[in-house]
Structure 1
Amino acid sequence: RKQKPGLLSNPLRVFSTLTGSSSSSSAAAAASPPRTHQRPPKHQQSASLSSLTSLSGSLREHIFGSATPASSKDGLANDWYAEGPGRRVGYEDLTAIDWIFEYTKERQRLRVLASSSGGGIIGYVRHLLDASQVWIVLLLTGLAVGVIAALIDITTDWLGDVKLGFCTSGPEGGHFYLNKNFCCYGYDQGSKCAGWRFWSEALGIHSAGGKWFIEYFFFLAFGVLFAYCAALLVQEYAIYAKHSGIPEIKTVLGGFVIRKFLGPWTLVTKSFGLVLAVSSGMWLGKEGPLVHVACCCANLFIKIFPNINNNEGR
């Protein structure tokens, strides 16, 4: 069994025993009162709290600017800037908008409009003009989309027939920009059209095998060329012009910001790319992409009216 070390085994213990230091230290420890945490006086607490408050106020002013009343900003009342998160400059790309902020901003605008217009005929006319801005945008969008859709349809039919041949300027009054249906207008189906010339006839090939090869070659070459040009336009100028655009439009309507998705370059690239893609013979339609074209036109006309353009919720 392990025994305790004796007194003589440790010289320090012998020295402490002779001098009595351990007993004195223990007695001093017993005599000393326990330490307690003393709370500072109340005037020192208030001074420290005031210093912290001033420090936080100066830090907040340094970060967010001076907390001046915002009643002079944009003609809005004080309640929004006192209750809301503050002044918002804009949204970054691929971020969601703040619906509460946008709706509150619109209510403040209508409140300022009602207070500044007053009653009478002038106030009624101002309210009527403000409410008619959305209808003007819809009217202009419908007219623009109708013109663009007609041009896309006519150009698509013409490029689709160019793969087979072209219309000559003969005695029947044909022109090169006419497709086969307009060039042969008035002819019965199956009859020989004098104004329309196939590529084999234009090259002077009369054999059956040569006609088949030349017509197949031009049909395939123009189809590949149109598809390549459409892909090149989308890749180089507007990447958002790919696909139909309907899923992205639903996302934008849900409050998601996608920059350049409804811009002018996207509109131009989408229109030309749609013409080339459909003319190439790919299994595509014009209905879905025309929805994206219509939204691009609406976005361009919205920029005319600042009341709608400056509010992402509208």
Structure 2
Amino acid sequence: MTLSTVNPDFWKGRRVLLTGHSGFKGAWAALWLCRMGAEVTGVSLPPEGNFSLYDSIKDQLTLNSNFIDIRDAEKLNAVVKKSNPEIILHMAAQALVRRSYREPVNTYETNVMGTANLLEAMRDLAELKAALIITSDKVYRNNEDGHAFRETDPLGGDDPYSASKAACEITTASFAKSFFNDKGIPIATARAGNVIGGGDFSEDRLIPDIWRAAREGESVTLRYPGATRPWQHVLESVSGYLVYLQALAGDDGAHLPKSLNFGPQGGEVVTVGEIALEVQKAFGIDSNWSLVNSAQPPEKSYLALDASLAHKALGWQSKWAPSETLTKTVEWYKAFSETPDIYSFTLSQIDEYEDIS
């Protein structure tokens, strides 16, 4: 099968509503879409912390940025109606597992009711062609039996984040069947693997934690070094989302699967400890990691995705092996510390990715 790729001609001049545009994945998506000439309206909370990819590139982005909370239905509805999008990519979320233990109600309100607010605002859009709601690889009922999850596996989730994303899946499917299917407007969900790449500065995430430790000359501590995850570069997941939306908005969009996994080829998984050692080496950190010695909220030790349906339905598959993913990630953080023009460097990584056939 010929691999499907992101098509700039499809996106040029296309009105796109992108929620979560100031986040890690959202900023990469915003940059890629603006580069292709899409008319992007962003909806998000302001970036957190001292560093963010969005803040580093925002002056070069040609988008209409709106900092509002998706839990505010009235404000969200006003932006959706005014932008009148043809395509919607919904990435705004409370996306941190450990924060979900501290703030469970906020997590449910954002991930479930925030999504419901968006779906409700979409109902009267006259020119909407397709919408993609981004959830998580953690939406599946995970009994840790060692198999890579497929789209037909039962939904579940023990921690508040995972459960809220599974509930988001059910909410989206309900709205689609109740209000959009009869109009011929495909509404779908996407479940990506553990995404890494330059520009992630979030709390309690592996690569940002190692980067901060390298900057501050501190040792790296891990919570669950033996846990396996389906690691993939941010450009893999974003490319999957864009290819999926291209297909959903096409003539055969109504016949496509309404949920797809996007993960590394063959369901590859690597442990947290293995990733940490490779990234430490790349950052020039000599010390080994150490184990956090305090009690931690529980997390699943095994997680893998089967992305074969995305290949079958879309002709999509990941391009970068884990080693290349780590190389590109570390190169970005080094450039962030050394290069004044991180916007151009980030674009160059998109160019590299697009050039792979």
TM-score (norm: length of structure 2): 0.20
Give the number of the structure whose residues are more often strand, by fraction.
Answer: 2
TM-score (norm: length of structure 1): 0.22
Give the number of the structure whose residues are more often helix, by fraction.
Answer: 1
